Amino acid sequence: MLTRRQFIRLAMTTTAALQLSDMLIPHLAEAFTGKKKPPVIWLEMMTCTGDYLSTANTLHPNMRQLLFDTIDLYYSNTTMAAEGEMAIRALLETAEREKGEFILIAEGTVPLKNNGQYGAIGYHPDGRLFTDIEAIRFLAPKAKYIMAVGTCASFGGPYAARPNPSGSVAVHKVVDQQVVNVPGCPVHPDWAIGTLTHLLLYGVPNLDAFNRPTVFFGKRIHDWCPRRQHFDNGIFAEQPGEEKCTYKIGCKGPVTFVDCPTRQWIGDHNSWPVEANSPCIGCVNPDFPDGMSPFYAHLPDMNVSGVRASTDKLGLGVAAFTAGSIATHLLANVATGRLGKHWIDGTRPRTEGIIRDIRKHAGDDKKQ
């Protein structure tokens, strides 16, 4: 079976030519051969179901292979044949029978207004509304691990955007247990299946300051963008559709940490927004969409983890700050105007500079 180190190397080096799930699922199936398949509950709350549908679009293997050969999906609003009282009974019985063993995948926000009546998964046998907040609080303490899949579940996303009439919040706001956030609007199948695989085989992965797995959310788009040379040469698009750097028409790559440039998008992994001549809108960021809006306009300032920073300093400084996450060092650097000292040559990251940064920060932390 893959070691954790091999898993991380595989997850980070998988590019547009390969499906990460194609590599991982056989190892996952091997690990549970002759054993009980891992139980999973997928709870859809205030959501458009886009994250489930995106995950279901994994091709190699397809969703049927995942469901029949790899995991036992006991409850899923979208997939299961049961409905009404039968579905709710299956959910309650699974949670009790598989207590401490099942992985809870939560999709969508948790609406709080009017005692949570803006979102519900069904009714109790006595006719009472079974609200989203009641469901997540019932399931979370019984789960072995909790994954918040999609930006809504992870950070609030569109359903918690202003004016937020339902009072929606992210999953981690209403439970006491650790939540592994796997954002994306929608989530990429590799991010979802890769994180699920890590939880099943090795436990909780390394997380950044926002509880996102660093294996997928550990490097900044701006440092790996194939149009980085256009940025360095000052060749900027004036409107969407032009094959130039999209920085001046709203690209949020300078403040977005995710592997879209190399992972690319689902199915055959053959494109992503910038390749389609559209700016990155920062959909995996904690303050998406409000803090990333307007999407197609160059913002004089960006909100990075609550700190306002000039995008010109973030971008034109051409910083190679990708030490792993937007944690304390990024906040400190933005606040003091010292966002990086190492330059990028073309579109190829200078990994030796990044390694020096990591070692330097590690040394500084020890001194403190």
Is it the case that residue 349 has pLDDT exceeding 90? Answer: no
Whether 111 and 133 have beta carbons less than 8 Å apart is answered as yes
Q: Residue 211: how many CB atoms within 10 A of its CB?
A: 18
Pair 261, 347 in one domain: yes
Q: pLDDT by residue (tens digit) across 140-157?
A: 999 999 999 999 999 999
- In sequence order, the β-bridge partners of residue 130 are 122
So what's the pLDDT on residue 22? 66
Tell which of 187, 216, 245 closes a domain: 216
Is pTM beyond 0.85 here?
A: no
Q: Which of 135-144, 200-209, 328-337 is predicted least confidently?
A: 328-337
Tell which of 216, 248, 283 closes a domain: 216
So what's the pLDDT on residue 61? 64
Q: How far is CA 165 from CA 159, 203, 276, 304, 355, in A?
A: 9, 37, 34, 25, 45
So what's the pLDDT on residue 59? 73
Average confidence (pLDDT) over 91-104? 97
Q: How far is CA 320 from CA 133, 144, 305, 343, in A?
A: 41, 37, 18, 6
Is it the case that residue 274 has pLDDT exceeding 70? Answer: yes
Pair 174, 223 in one domain: no
Pair 165, 33 in one domain: yes
Q: What is the b/e burial string over 226-239, where b = at least 16 CB atoms within 10 angstroms of the residue's CB?
A: ebbebbbeeebbee
CA separation for the pair 278, 105 (Å, rounded): 31
Question: Domain holding 298: CATH number?
Answer: 4.10.480.10
CA atoms lying within 13 Å on the CB side of residue 6: 7
So what's the pLDDT on residue 25? 67
So what's the pLDDT on residue 317? 38
Is it the case that residue 322 has pLDDT exceeding 50? Answer: no
Name residue, tokens 């579940």: 153
How many domains is the chain built from? 2
| Highest mean pLDDT (candidates 31-35, 68-72, 274-278, 357-361) | 274-278
Pair 185, 334 in one domain: no
Pair 118, 199 in one domain: yes
Average confidence (pLDDT) over 317-339? 35
Pair 211, 66 in one domain: yes
So what's the pLDDT on residue 86? 94
Is it the case that residue 243 has pLDDT exceeding 80? Answer: yes
Tell which of 193, 216, 239 closes a domain: 216
CA separation for the pair 108, 150 (Å, rounded): 7
Q: Which pLDDT band, with edges at 50, 70 and 90, does 18 fall under?
A: low
Q: Residue 168: how many CB atoms within 10 A of its CB?
A: 25
Pair 169, 248 in one domain: no
CA separation for the pair 271, 279 (Å, rounded): 13
Is it the case that residue 241 has pLDDT exceeding 50? Answer: yes
Pair 212, 266 in one domain: no
181 or 189, greater pLDDT = 181
Is it the case that residue 342 has pLDDT exceeding 90? Answer: no
So what's the pLDDT on residue 124? 92
Q: pLDDT by residue (tens digit) across 22-54?
A: 667 677 667 766 678 999 999 999 999 999 999
Is it the case that residue 301 has pLDDT exceeding 60? Answer: no
Pair 14, 152 in one domain: yes
Q: Which pLDDT band, with edges at 50, 70 and 90, does 329 fall under?
A: very low
Pair 196, 256 in one domain: no
Q: Residue 17: how many CB atoms within 10 A of its CB?
A: 9
Is it the case that residue 304 has pLDDT exceeding 70? Answer: no
Q: Helix axis angle, 84-97 relative to 132-139, nearest 10°?
A: 20
Average confidence (pLDDT) over 206-232? 95
Average confidence (pLDDT) over 352-368? 46
Range of the domain at 349: 219-367
Pair 289, 203 in one domain: no
Q: How many residues does the chain have?
A: 368
Pair 165, 228 in one domain: no
Q: Which pLDDT band, with edges at 50, 70 and 90, does 286 fall under?
A: very high
The one-letter amino acid at 134: E
H/E run at residue 340: none
Question: Domain holding 18: CATH number?
Answer: 3.40.50.700
So what's the pLDDT on residue 332? 38
Q: Which pLDDT band, with edges at 50, 70 and 90, does 363 fall under?
A: low
Q: Sheet of 72-76: strands edge to edge?
A: 72-76, 39-44, 103-107, 145-149, 180-182
